[in-house]
Amino acid sequence: MKQIAQYQDGRLELQDVPLPTAPPGGILVRLTHSVISVGTEKMKVEQARMNLLQKARARPDQVRKVLDTARTLGWRAAMEKVRNRLEIPSPLGYSAAGIVQAVDAGNTRFRVGDRVAIGGAECAFHAEYAAVPDMLATPVPEGVANWQAAYTTITSIALQAVRQLQPSLGERVLVVGQGLVGLLVTAFLRASGARVLALDVAPARRALATAMGAERVVIAGQQNLIQEARAWTDGFGIDAAVLAASASTNGPTEQALEALRDRGRLVVVGKAKVDLPWEYAFGKEIEVRFSRSYGPGRYDPAYEWAGADYPIGYVRWTEQRNFEACLQAMRRGDLDLEALTTRRAPFTQALQVYQHLMGEGGAAEAGVILEYGDVARENETAAAAPRLALVQASPPPQRLDRPVTRVDVIGAGNFARTMLLPHLKDRIPLGTVVNNTALSANHVRTKFGFGNATTSSEQLFTDEAPAATLIATRHNLHAPLVLRALQANRHVFVEKPLCLTREELAQIETTLVNSRGSVQVGFNRRFAAAATELRKLLRAAPGPKTASFRVMAGPLEPTSWFANQAESGGRVLGEACHFFDFFCFLFESRPVRVSAQTVWPAAGRLPFPDSVTAQVEFADGSCGQLVYSAEGDTSWPKETCTVFGAGFTAEIQNFKTLVVHRQRKRTAKEFNGKGHAEQMAAWTAFLRGESPHPVPFEEARRSMLLTFAAMEAIQQGRAVDTGA
């Protein structure tokens, strides 16, 4: 792999180095992004470029160590030690994000494919891979991109400084220094309800500080801080100050102390010279605190590397919990990292980036991001095979301006005649019914009141009238007919599955973007009265849930059209998609990954999966377990769904009963039907312009992607990212 190496003579190199190994209890991460801490890293590079005398002046602590060595071992040994130290390259970087590639056997929090934010100047380097302990890695929540998550460690430094300050609503706070950390401190103070006066030496920082929430910005050398502070505080002085500047002189400290009111507070987070003049510190009884990096746990090997967490009852905000808080702030939009980011560059150009930062143009930079590999993969959630990129479909219209004039039906088999058409009759005009068998087509026309009957759909999409199409054919015809209907700008209802391949799904979505029509898939169980009642219960309960759906489907006869995989797609695609969709409906969360296996081998008379068990992980931590079995006894309920949540257990049987156990009480309700009638009622209400579209296409798309991933999990024998 490649890594940035800094030598003590100032050289920077992009070197090929061995791949690191996950530490005990830790993980190996493939980086997608890292953030250059401009102030800290510029200082390191500048110190490296100094001659020995300059280095000695800049680091008197290191000089003392050399003198101690000379007294103990002699000058020759001391100088040899110095030369050896200067020859060894140092890593750069401490704030990054990426994808977990390997997990030590002692780690139980992470899995291969997880997105993580990582930190630590000892491990989270600017490199293609990083090996980090568990306590220096945090899962990236849904809604936060990897480039944002790469800021986590740096934002934690700013957050810890604000925690040390303990601002109260409405306090006026001075932030000295508007480098990367200072800007983030400003943002967190604004989010906490404090008012911020920002101070910096660079005029270019004014716009950045304002974007991050500063109420007033003072540029040293152009404005007088004390006068500005006096005017801003009605003469009382600043309530508190954060020293976020790196300075070799005591000037910033003295300015902050002078601006503070009596009994004001000063928090030091930057590497600044802090000598406290007696007349200010004593005279005003100033409280001074230092903020140590990311928070409690930093520099404690037992915490960071041995995983000994501090009890939350005693230490509320450890560095790990600060990481989590920062990521949640990003998710909520409290941190405008887009405004903070002034440069993004490929990792392969890192040396040119550092050269720019060390030049005159570097003063204007704040957030500088290095991007690794193919940045188009930055939001991937697993190290899985490449997925087909799908276009984001336009949302369906909320209500139709013009109701449709009729509904045409393609496919009038027993299912359509029994479960769908009775609920369309007398609700909306019925146009043409298309069926392969002429006699059946004519029978359906007469029974349900269609205007016409035909055996071919060729002429169905030629007119311009606003019409809808219901598709209830065999599964292999679903996608081609949906595409033709959308091209004719029709509103489509198609029985499940929507399609049989990822490629067909991509074609449908692309066509939908350019169509005035819409698509609803026949996932009827989400419309059942028992299902909607159960979802109300889940919405009221906090935290993730676990659902187990057991389907005793019965054996599939080889003579059934379902046994023709070319027509049906098989039982997983053709039937199990119902229950995958039901999990998505219940949890209202994005499916992340799925593992699945067949019970009977896909061989013999049925050379494709007939019975399947699957487990689905959702982004909110919920879990859905599906047992779809061709085996069993017919006296057992065909469909049973059991849900476990905080404070309750609920079970649906055949969508006729819902039993809830809560607070040591059992309640039962009776229902009727699996949602076919409610589904048709919702669709026809949309077609008449009375209500919004019942199911956004994105929800059907997720359910189909989950179904495809389950098939791939069976085929590949491993957990598969859904790509949803």
Structure confidence by residue, pLDDT tens digits, 568-599: 888 888 999 999 999 999 999 999 999 999 87
- Decide whether 156-291 matches 525-721 in CATH topology: no
Coil vs helix vs strand at 21 = coil
Domain spans of the chain?
Answer: 2-53+88-151+337-377, 156-291, 406-523, 525-721
Closest CA to 640 of 624, 622, 627: 627
Continuous H helices in 287-336: 301-304, 319-332
Q: Considering the chain, what percentage of its residues have pLDDT values greater than 90? A: 70
Mean of the pLDDT values across residues 309-320?
Answer: 96
> What is Dmax (Cα atoms) for the chain?
109
Separation of alpha carbons 239 and 248, rounded Å? 25
**How confident is the model at residue 386, as a pLDDT?**
37
Residue 524 has pLDDT above 50, yes or no: yes
pLDDT band at 52 (very low <50, low <70, confident <90, very high): low
Mean of the pLDDT values across residues 83-111?
Answer: 86
For residue 216, the cross-strand partners are 197
* Most confident of the ranges 43-52, 234-243, 370-379: 234-243
For residue 662, the cross-strand partners are 648, 665
H/E stretch holding 208 reads: helix 205-211
Separation of alpha carbons 208 and 210, rounded Å? 5
- What is the Cβ-side half-sphere exposure of residue 313, based on CA atoms within 13 angstroms? 0
Continuous H helices in 488-550: 502-513, 529-540
pLDDT band at 393 (very low <50, low <70, confident <90, very high): very low
**How confident is the model at residue 359, as a pLDDT?**
80
Mean of the pLDDT values across residues 273-285?
Answer: 89
Closest CA to 367 of 346, 343, 350: 343
**How confident is the model at residue 609, as a pLDDT?**
61
Whether residue 167 is preceded by a cis peptide bond, meaning omega within 30 degrees of 0, is no
pLDDT band at 49 (very low <50, low <70, confident <90, very high): low
Number of CB atoms found within 10 A of residue 248's CB: 10
**How confident is the model at residue 632, as a pLDDT?**
86
Q: Which fold has domain 525-721?
A: Dihydrodipicolinate Reductase; domain 2 (3.30.360)
Coil vs helix vs strand at 647 = coil
DSSP string computed for 557-579: PTTSGGG-HHHH-HHIIIIIHHH
Q: In CATH, which superfamily holds the domain spanning 156-291?
A: NAD(P)-binding Rossmann-like Domain (3.40.50.720)
Mean of the pLDDT values across residues 659-681?
Answer: 95
Q: In CATH, which superfamily holds the domain spanning 406-523?
A: NAD(P)-binding Rossmann-like Domain (3.40.50.720)
Residue 511 has pLDDT above 90, yes or no: yes
Q: Which CATH architecture has domain 2-53+88-151+337-377?
A: Alpha-Beta Complex (3.90)
